[in-house]
Amino acid sequence: MASALTKGTLVTIVGEAVLQDRLINLLAQLKVSGYTVVPAKGAGSHGKRMGDIAGYNTNIEIKTIVSSDCSEQLLEGLQPFQETHALIAFRQEVEGLFDVDAANDESRIPVRLY
How many C-alpha atoms does 18 have within 13 Å on its Cβ side? 9
Check residue 109 and give its pLDDT: 43
| Domain at 6-104: CATH architecture | 2-Layer Sandwich (3.30)
Give tens-digit pLDDT for 53-79. 665 678 999 999 999 999 999 999 999
The answer to whether 49 touches 43, Cβ cutoff 8 Å, is yes
Mean pLDDT of the region 25-52 = 82
**CA 64/CA 96 separation, integer angstroms:** 13
Do the beta carbons of residue 9 and residue 70 sit within 8 Å?
yes
In the predicted structure, residue 37 carries a pLDDT above the cut 70: yes
**What is the rounded distance in angstroms from the CA atom of residue 4 to the CA atom of residue 8?**
13
What digits encode the pLDDT tens for the residues 4-21? 899 999 999 999 999 999
Quick one: DSSP state of residue 19?
G
Domain ranges of the chain: 6-104
